[in-house]
């Protein structure tokens, strides 16, 4: 017998709905009505009685729970649309090397970088991979993330990529966190394919159907840059994804402009990510295809990059800009989404509202999701109750985690 959905009221709140045309979608004295996993209504508390009456008459049900939030701030749940949570080991030694002058490219060409994480991932047990990734996911959940994308890309063989994707899927079964999985097998060249990049791309394309058939892949990604894969090789991966009906994403123009953004846009990519070296033609192609620009200030900061993404041009052209942690062991070992909001403002000069939209509604768009990221009727009931007065504080406080009550699909959760 199916348990009926809970009809609940959340009142006495400051709502940053991110819906409508006003700044922040701000409702100073707001309330929400939630039916099961869906927001039925969000708006001024003065209209709550009328909305309750309409809902009760329409459903024939009574209110099951009422929550007085004491004037707390409520925002949509955060969406971390670019992470690499599943991996073995760590790369603190490389951090030291970079401080002594070694570049990301130097380390990668010497067999470090992604390859060192691949070695640690391959030797880790399934339990170790899952347990470490689960701990990271719990940290994100406790800090307000209700939807997360998890990429593979540290296995780089059919066996080990599948292991990583299974661990990612299992996180979404164990935690109330919504998990989207992305196959990033075209992340780097594994040692057994040294000097045979085209052969490796053939192998990646051959693995995809089985990974997809097992239900492990929601999207396909690649790293297109001079230390990774060429546009021609990336195109072959995207063609394989298209044959399976899978959407694509791209690590694009991080270290150089390879024309990857235009290539990804040609395939209707959900997003292009990093984008420090993105040019005007790439921006135009992304705008035409509706591709989201995912900015990753953590990697920019950690690698001490100096070339900024073309924020003014992205803003001028009206491209949605998403923000994500890019959690990974080599270039962004952070699990603080709020620090990323701050860095998006301080390093990239986004406004606090642009940053929050980047980790809510635009982060959702980067995953092909339109049912979350705002507090509005019909949206999934993912939201966070913060011990703050105004949403601009989310990007303001540094090194402090405000108290947060996290609600995923209508249920308050603990990490």
Give the alpha-carbon dihedral of 238, 331, 177, 180, to 10 degrees.
Answer: 0
pLDDT band at residue 79, thresholds of 50, 70 and 90?
very high
Catalogue all structural domains in the chain, each as residue range(s) with its CATH number.
Answer: 7-76+374-413 (2.30.40.10), 78-365 (3.20.20.140)
Higher-confidence position of 93 and 390: 390
Is the pLDDT at 304 greater than 70, yes or no? yes
Mean pLDDT within 397-409: 93
Higher-confidence position of 367 and 400: 367
Mean pLDDT within 56-75: 94
The predicted model scores a pTM of 0.96
pLDDT at 194: 95
pLDDT tens sequence across 343-368: 999 999 999 999 999 999 999 999 99
Mean pLDDT within 204-216: 98
Nearest alpha-carbon partner for 328 in 304, 357, 352, 298:
298
pLDDT at 1: 42
Token look-up 């060429």 returns 230
Nearest alpha-carbon partner for 394 in 308, 10, 385:
385
Q: Angle of helix 114-123 relative to helix 158-174, nearest 10 degrees?
A: 80
Nearest alpha-carbon partner for 374 in 28, 8, 138, 41:
41
Nearest alpha-carbon partner for 186 in 172, 208, 201:
201
Mean pLDDT within 225-244: 97
Is the pLDDT at 220 greater than 90, yes or no? yes
Higher-confidence position of 132 and 114: 132
HSE-CB at 80 with a 13 A cutoff on CA atoms is 35
Mean pLDDT within 146-166: 98
Is the pLDDT at 103 greater than 70, yes or no? yes
CA distance 238 to 309: 24
Mean pLDDT within 187-200: 96
DSSP structure string for 208-242: HHHHHHTT--SEEEEEESTTSB-HHHHHHHHHHHH
Mean pLDDT of the chain: 96
């Amino acid at each position: 017998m199916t348990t009926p959905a809970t009809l609940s009221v959340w009142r006495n709140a400051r709502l940053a709905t991110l819906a409508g045309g006003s700044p922040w979608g701000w409702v100073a004295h707001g309330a929400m009505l939630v039916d099961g996993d869906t927001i039925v209504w969000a708006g001024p508390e003065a209209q709550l009685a009328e909305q309750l009456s309409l809902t009760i008459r329409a459903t024939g049900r009574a209110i099951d729970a009422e929550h007085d939030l004491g004037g707390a701030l409520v925002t949509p749940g955060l969406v971390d649309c670019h992470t690499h949570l599943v991996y073995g080991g760590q790369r603190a030694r490389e951090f030291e090397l970079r401080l002594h002058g070694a570049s990301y490219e130097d380390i990668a060409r010497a067999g470090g970088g992604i390859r060192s994480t691949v070695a640690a991932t391959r030797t880790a047990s399934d339990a170790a991979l899952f347990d470490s990734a689960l701990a990271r996911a719990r940290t994100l959940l406790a800090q307000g993330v209700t939807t997360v994308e998890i990429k593979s890309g540290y296995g780089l063989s059919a066996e080990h990529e599948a292991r990583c994707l299974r661990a990612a899927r299992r996180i979404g079964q164990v935690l109330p966190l919504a998990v989207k999985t992305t196959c990033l097998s075209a992340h780097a060249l594994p040692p057994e394919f040294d000097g045979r990049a085209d052969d490796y791309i053939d192998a990646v394309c051959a693995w995809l159907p089985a990974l997809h058939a097992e239900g492990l892949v929601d999207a396909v990604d690649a790293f297109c840059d001079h230390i990774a894969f060429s546009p021609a090789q990336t195109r072959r991966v995207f063609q394989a994804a298209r044959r399976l009906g899978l959407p694509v994403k791209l690590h694009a123009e991080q270290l150089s402009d390879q024309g990857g953004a235009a290539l990804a846009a040609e395939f209707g990519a959900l997003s292009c990510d990093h984008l420090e070296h993105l040019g005007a033609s790439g921006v135009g192609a992304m705008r035409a295809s509706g591709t989201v620009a995912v900015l990753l200030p953590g990697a920019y900061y950690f690698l001490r990059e100096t070339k900024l993404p073309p924020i003014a041009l992205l803003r001028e052209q009206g491209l949605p800009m998403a923000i994500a942690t890019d959690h990974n062991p080599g270039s962004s070992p952070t699990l603080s989404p709020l620090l990323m909001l701050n860095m998006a403002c301080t390093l990239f000069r986004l406004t606090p509202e642009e940053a929050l939209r980047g980790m809510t509604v635009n982060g959702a768009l980067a995953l092909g999701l339109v049912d979350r990221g705002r507090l509005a009727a019909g949206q999934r009931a993912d939201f966070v109750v913060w011990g703050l007065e105004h949403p601009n504080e989310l990007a303001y406080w540094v090194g402090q985690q405000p108290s947060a009550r996290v609600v995923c699909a209508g249920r308050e959760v603990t990490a």
